[in-house]
Chains A and B, each alone.
Chain A
């Protein structure tokens, strides 16, 4: 593996200006480097700015401080080399599954025949080819997220951003999709930046786990998982890592509590 950084974040911060003139510091001073084919997980308490950080990397959210550099180029707007999967339901409900998956190639002006072939191949990758002509409302939550993932892949991105993509799924489906995601990642060698608030999920998936503080989100710790895949949840290191990360999060929450009274309260 080369020492090539595909993604470089330097002093990245975000301050939201609300309508009534207040400003909300969502993300503060984030430095992060991601190498090609890395699987990096970001964990942190909810509301700490994880989605905001990911949206800045995707180019959807204007950056207030610092910069995000992708392959030497500063990110200012979305680009097709960077794909994203959202937690919320993001499929177009009036389109069939295959037309949803073919959306990226369609925007790129690829012919109908070719983009359908491509979409079908990706649907096959997650065992969803039988549902190509179904509409999203006919699918279960797990199937919808499978479609959302291959829709991002059908655009052939180098970097895949995932914002709690399995957050709304039941535990069994979530574990199933984690496995599938690893299989796809190993097969297609994408670089993945994956946001979750689940410590278990992060340890199961990541090469490297970045722990964020409560809002404004900063990186407080980076942990290398260093376990072979497929990982056994019963492995002693698994439990050890979970304890370590939970301790960091707990300490952070306690500090925040004494500072602000309540981490859920808006301190501004």
Chain B
């Protein structure tokens, strides 16, 4: 590629963000009130020092890590449950009819609506309570993973993954199953060697969407009592101190981490599933 086309291409990507930053900068200097809108430089300076202690809540990097750990805990639980359940529901019509009506009742409930119930059930219990750890660094880590938060994130990620697994299995052509059966496939072979790989692209797609939803549930989960860390909590706490610059820093880091997680799945899809694009 010629240097000129490379530059043009980079320009196309950067044009809109740069315009946005320009407008932000103009508006900030016009308003001249850092509680309503802090300047670009102020926010960038904070972002460039991610390990600095913010409003005595620890650094940005640590809070992002805590949030990631929570999201992953709830998300992995959701995937571990939704994938097998979805594959089984997609394959056995009876199981689908048996469970779908029930599951459909809970699907429209926003994860946030679960908060009161979840607090009544779990309170401030955490993984530290579960493993009965009461001090030391292990306690610090595990106590950050409250059941209530994991539950909210779990609910958010569960349905996209379940739906896509069911959908993926439903889309497996009958001929593939039939040809495996005449070749002597057992029921286990059908699941492991036909249904799972055939619906894998759909499942990974659902996992990508589910992770996005899980990440979005983060702020609501971290507003729950007992939370003293995480990006979501950082945002709400900074708000009470009128530190709008830190609010924006938190928002930017949620956006960046979310986009990176999405990119990760896109790369997998691109690498592993070339055959879905190339098969008619």
Contacts and interface: CB of A to CB of B under 8 A. Distances in A.
B278 A103 contact: no
A155 B200 CA distance: 27
B279 interface: yes
B182 A84 contact: yes
A94 B175 CA distance: 15
B184 A92 contact: no
A205 B189 CA distance: 35
Contacts of A79: 184
A94 B194 CA distance: 10
A222 to B, nearest CB: 26
Interface in A63-100: 78-80, 82-84, 86, 88-90, 92-94
Given A90-B176, A92-B176, A107-B189, A82 B275 contact: no
Interface in B250-280: 275-276, 278-280
Nearest to B179: A90
Contacts of B176: 90, 92
Given A86-B175, A90-B175, A94-B197, A104 B275 contact: no
B173 interface: yes
Interface in B153-188: 173, 175-176, 178-186
A60 B184 contact: no
Interface in B180-237: 180-186, 189, 193-194, 197-198, 200
A171 interface: no
A135 interface: yes
A49 B198 CA distance: 29
B179 A107 contact: no
Determine chain B's interface SS by DSSP, over half rule: helix
A88 B183 contact: no
A94 B275 contact: yes
A70 B226 CA distance: 69
Contacts of B180: 103, 107
A93 B275 contact: yes
B183 A89 contact: no
Contacts of B183: 80, 83, 103-104, 107, 151-152, 155
Interface residues of B, number: 23
Contacts of A52: none
Contact of B184 (A55, A135, A148, A155): A155
B182 A107 contact: no
Contacts of B173: 88
B146 to A, nearest CB: 40
A58 interface: yes
Interface string A104-145: 101110000000000000000000000000011110000000
B198 to A, nearest CB: 8
Contacts of A55: 178
Nearest to A148: B179
Nearest to B201: A94
A92 B182 contact: no
Given A88-B173, A93-B279, A135-B275, A108 B184 contact: yes
Nearest to B178: A60
A138 B280 CA distance: 11
Given A90-B175, A92-B176, A92-B197, A107 B275 contact: no
Q: Which 5 A-B pairs rank lowest in CB-CB distance, beginning with the nearest?
A: A104-B183, A137-B278, A90-B179, A93-B279, A80-B184
Given A60-B181, A92-B194, A135-B275, 17 more contacts: A60-B178, A60-B182, A80-B184, A83-B182, A86-B179, A88-B175, A89-B280, A90-B175, A92-B197, A92-B198, A93-B279, A94-B198, A94-B200, A103-B183, A107-B180, A108-B184, A137-B279
Interface of B: 173, 175-176, 178-186, 189, 193-194, 197-198, 200, 275-276, 278-280
20 contacts: A59-B182, A60-B181, A78-B182, A78-B184, A80-B183, A80-B184, A83-B183, A86-B175, A90-B179, A92-B198, A94-B275, A103-B183, A106-B193, A107-B183, A107-B186, A108-B184, A135-B275, A136-B279, A152-B182, A155-B183
